[in-house]
Chains A and B, each alone.
Chain A
Amino acid sequence: MLNYISRRLNLLLINAFILTIIAFLLAQWSNGQSLTDTNYIIDYVKYISAILQGDWGSSIDNRLILQQGLTAFASTLELCIISFITAALIAIPLGIFAGFYPNHFLDYCIMTIALIGLAIPIFWLAVITTMLPRLTGITLPIDGGISPIFEVPVVSGFMLIDTLLAEDLYQLNAFYDRLAHLFLPSIVLSFFLIAEIIRLTRRSITTVMKSNYIKAAYANGLSKTRLVLHHVLKNALPSIIHQLRLQLSTIISFAMVIEIVFSLPGAGVWLLNSIKEEDYLALPAAVLIISGFILLFSIFIDIFLMIISPLKRKSLYVD
């Protein structure tokens, strides 16, 4: 197990090294410097030490890039988490059902919906969703992260938490307002996630269902609920989580696109504005923050999988 973790960390270091080189090149380019007229190894070392000390530079309006980036990314992450929870609540039961009754009429229905979900371009769905309140008469916000009435101080960057911390100012009104602003964007993002999770769950469940030990359990007279909860799901889950981990970067990039459509302040809007204002220093910072997060998260998931799945525990090599 120690071997596995050390190999995983080795990979992390290599990946991080490649990432910092990309970020360094971007930073150099945005400063208008070419690599030929300076000693780039010394520059790189300087750059890395500055990054490690938290000195990521400041944007053209003299605000700290690191702080801006982290706040923006936290908002994106908030959207991803909310959407993921919604999607998991809806999709896992549907996926289990479809996997449990393969080739059933309902299975076809569920899989058709999942296929549509995968086929619809997410930005188009987002644009259509912005019209939803207008067409249905439901009063839901379609623009921004929170109503400008509320001036919530940024503490954690996760606005749901920040609004709760600012409870003395606005009671729970700001919190509800934030939730309402996240509602439509998270529906759009979860639409994609639902499709993905249904597909993964179904496939995984079908595979497990075919295995002999399930057949044996079934023959032993175990009830369906018990079978699903104690045997099928337990064995199907690791591969679902593993597959979802691979989708993380797609989820984040979709979240960024959705943010731009809904003008929801987050990494997407931050990057777009920075590019519009020719504030290119935000680009390397975004590369480091977002990719760094994905790297760390993958390791976290790997370790988590190793804890819950005995098969993984024995594997020596990192995949």
Chain B
Amino acid sequence: MRFLFTIAMTLLLYGCYKNESVITDTLIYCSEAYPQSFNSQISHDISTLDATTHQLYNRLVKFDASGESFIPDLATHWQQSDDKLSFTFFLRKNVNFQHTDYFTPTRFFNADDVIFSFQRMLEINTPYNSINRAGDSYFYNHPFTNLVADVIKIDDYTVKFILNEPDVTLLANLAAHYGVIISKQYGEKLLSIGHPEKIDYYPIGTGPYQFKNANKRTGIIRYNAHPQYWGVRPSIKNLIFEVTTNKTKRHSKLLSGECDIITYPEPSQLDKMAANPKIKLHRTATDNLALWSFNTVAAQFNNKNIRQAFSYAIDQKTIIEAIFFQSGNATSSLLAEQSWAYNPKRITLQYNPQLALEMLKNNNFDFNKTITILTSIENSVFNPNFHKTAELIQINLFDIGIKSEIISLLPAALEKRLASGHYDTYLTGINMPMNDPDSLFRPLLSCDATVAEGNSSQWCSKRVQTLLDSALLESNFIKRIMSYYKLQEITQQDRPYYPIAHVLRVDASNQNISGLRVDPLTGIDFQYIRKTEVN
């Protein structure tokens, strides 16, 4: 009897339980990490971009779906002056900021909000510049401070960006994740109540969703649809981000219907997922690059032939197959193929241990020395498994008689070690924050870029620096592309970095989800998403 009772109760419970995939106006997105903040001006991690850029905010301009031309967002149109030193933007009217429990705006979006948003970055003396240590971030200061001299209000719906010198990257910068527009009225209110820090944690923007609540402990972020949104209003009324750090668990939760969409599934499971008719895989090529950098100031690695020899010793194909599966494309170039500045005349990386050995001998390489392979203990979007990659490299090196030691460190220790310069090679990755090759090459190759900013090979060459700087000032597009072609040739000959793979961004959704858009630079976009009932 008790058995029967238990079984009956179980069946009853099972019958009553509806999983989340049944409710069509609610969407659960299982992400990999909790965002650093809710303002993509100050935080540049992918979790923050996913949680903010497209959901909460708008920018003045954005890239179209192909990523090649600019389309209006909060600016309806724009003009460049004849002297190329200023851009005038004409702003959209009747745009509402979000009405939430903690803030009710009393006016529409206007030029004051644009100036407020950019002044936070440009003017060191504005109260918000140092709030939440915003000024500490590389991207927070760099893109606009060197570029823009001033932002002037012409009238309520017209603003003018005055540049320091002609520079073509302004639009790309405005379309980047840090070009989001925040509410000036909200900023003033927070200052008056003495809590300016809330601006980045209780966000107010003009985007299609508005912030409801978030809890770092439970890893749950809730948004509601913004009822007065100026553009196409989303069909999803409740958007929920649930942080699930374990990749396998995200996969299981997708199958059990607890998540509608998951990000970065376990690469080794991609084959299985692709074969499952209930799951849709969304692969987006990104400019994010997994790379192995050679410390060009370390003894022996200051010789470019030795760096080239190391690149011949590495079996890139095995690394891709064993570590990345289908979540990354093997590459020979720092720049991704989809970039407009990509040089098709590249040197393909070869795996030739014999040649590597010969080159090393010819260049008097000291085989008694143990070289260090520094890497992070925590995996990231650049590499599903840093340590395993390092082990494969170690085996390749061992095959030609080079002894190596893998040093995996936690972020804080890694930062110190990098700053000290005590490493021969470093296994890492880099992301391109905006669709402009300068944002990849400058951190990697500029003499001014520090190791923390990306120049882990400590590379500094006059020729490269001149090319970098002249390309930025060049307004002739063809000439600019040629500069980047040249730059790619030099990096392939001098080999300060060994590019491993351009990482794909992979998201997986259940079959009843459509309209998912993922921008490789600015994050996931839920505005056009639709959820239908499961058949």
Contacts and interface: CB of A to CB of B under 8 A. Distances in A.
Given A147-B20, A176-B13, A265 B258 contact: no
B256 interface: yes
A173 B18 contact: yes
Interface in A127-143: 130-131, 133-134, 138-143
9 contacts: A61-B216, A134-B256, A139-B17, A139-B256, A140-B256, A141-B256, A143-B253, A147-B258, A180-B17
Interface of A: 61, 86, 89-90, 93, 130-131, 133-134, 138-144, 147-149, 151, 172-173, 176-177, 179-180, 183, 263, 265, 273
Contacts, number: 79
B377 interface: no
B3 interface: yes
Nearest to A130: B252
B23 interface: yes
Contacts of A61: 216-217
A172 B18 CA distance: 11
A149 B258 contact: no
A176 B2 contact: no
Across the A-B interface, give the 9 residue pairs with the lowest CB-CB distance, nearest first: A180-B17, A176-B16, A148-B220, A148-B240, A133-B256, A89-B2, A176-B17, A134-B255, A139-B19
Interface residues of B, number: 31
A149 B28 contact: yes
A272 B257 CA distance: 27
B17 A144 contact: no
B26 to A, nearest CB: 6
Interface string B24-61: 00101000000000000000000000000000000000
A86 B14 CA distance: 16
Contact of B6 (A86, A149, A176, A177): A86
A177 B13 CA distance: 9
Contact of B13 (A134, A148, A149, A183): A183
A280 to B, nearest CB: 16
A273 B217 contact: yes
Contacts of B240: 148-149
A179 B18 CA distance: 12
B244 A148 contact: no
A133 B17 CA distance: 14
Given A173-B18, A263-B244, 20 more contacts: A93-B2, A133-B252, A133-B255, A134-B252, A139-B17, A139-B19, A141-B258, A143-B252, A144-B258, A147-B19, A149-B23, A149-B238, A151-B222, A176-B13, A176-B18, A177-B17, A177-B18, A180-B13, A183-B13, A263-B249
A130 B13 contact: no
B5 interface: yes
